[in-house]
Amino acid sequence: MKWHALTNLNQSDLNEISANVLIPPESPWFRGHFPGEPILPGVAQLGMVYDAINHVCKQKLKISGIRRVRFKHIIRPNDHIKIVAAPLKKEKGSYSFRIMLQEEPVCSGIMTVENQPEPE
């Protein structure tokens, strides 16, 4: 079972990453969060941002920091959201991101990633 589906994942000439996401109602994220009133947890939203960055960078990355995160609206089953992440020029490995739902900001912040060392 897929937790979410990233589609139209691309990187612009300015290295801005964008992806469309559909969160199916049967996603495990909605189990117990909350019965009768399912909402997508913040950790799932951050995981989707990481997935988009990791997929475009084509490297094994790990999250080394998250800051200035703001959750502004609720994401529900079957919502179509858009993730946009842009590298910060002065901070290697850091991306300013936002998640949009029908042109409204849902979540924003800065995520820092770094190469994940290969196991020895």
Q: Which sequence positions are flagged as catalytic?
A: 33
- C-beta separation of 91 from 113 below 8 A: no
Sheet containing 104-115: order of strands: 5-11, 17-22, 80-87, 94-101, 104-115, 61-71
With tokens 């993730």, the residue in question is 83
